[in-house]
Structure 1
Amino acid sequence: MKTALALSALALLGWHSASHAATQIDLAQGQALYESHCMKCHAISTNHVGPRHQNVVGRRAGSVADFMYSAALKNSNVVWTEEMLDRWLRNPEALIPGQEMDVRVKSAEERRLLIQYLKSQSLAPNPSQTAPP
């Protein structure tokens, strides 16, 4: 019984390690894709031609206060969930007509990796910037 329990624990630890390694590989691939597809106009923590991407997952489109968005994006009421980011990266104009981004990511796997990388680039909320309960 102890041997079976020990083997189960080792198997779980091995699965966790393999899962963590796969996640790290996905993030590295996502970062490489971000650098090749997105960094011409965007950065994680600063605005450039496009707005910064830090904390983009869960953020309302057009809501970075110190960036000037197109009216289409600012008035879209889109929230950047994983699904919306996938639709955006597939075809921004189809999701928000009149927006100004002209990059498309055709590969579903590349979109998935990019979104996972963007999710990893979120900071914990600053307690002084959150509303009291």
Structure 2
Amino acid sequence: MALPSPKPVDGATLFKQQCAVCHTLSSAEPTRQGPALAKIIGRRAGAVEGFRYSAGFAKADFSWDEAKLDAWLTNPQELIPGAVMAYRQAKPDVRAAIINYLKDN
């Protein structure tokens, strides 16, 4: 008897399980530990109005794209020294699913 195929990784579910504790997808919702992530692709790092970023973000001179988000989710402190985000994701397929979900929101 063959084992069932694994379900494809679902970005929305992953976001809810792994990101939504600290982040929302709407600036209309109350701020959590992290800034709202709506429309993050193309947004300058550290630029959400009213959010208090760690000191490392003051030196971050880039806008978010898929590659930067992938590096961020892999190791936030390597991308932005002094960043306080504790989450890291070692699995490329999980990172890709979350990033694809964020691209659509």
TM range (shorter): 0.7 to 0.9
Aligned residue for 1:89, secondary structure, equals: helix
Matching residue of 1:12: none
What is the RMSD of the two structures over their aligned residues, measured on CA atoms? 1.3
Runs of 4+ residues deviating >6 angstroms: none
Aligned residue for 1:118, secondary structure, equals: helix
Which of 1 and 2 has greater Rg?
A: 1
CA distance in 2, matches of 1:73, 1:61: 7
Q: How does 1:91-106 map to 2 (within 5 A)?
A: 91-106=75-90
1:30/1:110 contact within 8 Å kept: yes
CA distance in 2, matches of 1:113, 1:88: 14
- What stretches of structure 1 of length at least 5 have no aligned partner? 1-24, 122-133
Structure with more contact order per residue of length (Cα contacts < 8 Å, sep ≥ 6): 2
Matching residue of 2:62: 78
TM-score, scaled to structure 2:
0.85
Q: How does 1:1-133 map to 2 (within 5 A)?
A: 29-45=10-26, 46=29, 47-121=31-105
TM-score, scaled to structure 1:
0.68
- What stretches of structure 2 of length at least 5 have no aligned partner? 1-7
Residue 82 (structure 1) shift: 0.3
Task: Please identify which structure carries the higher helix content.
Answer: 1
1:93/1:99 contact within 8 Å kept: yes
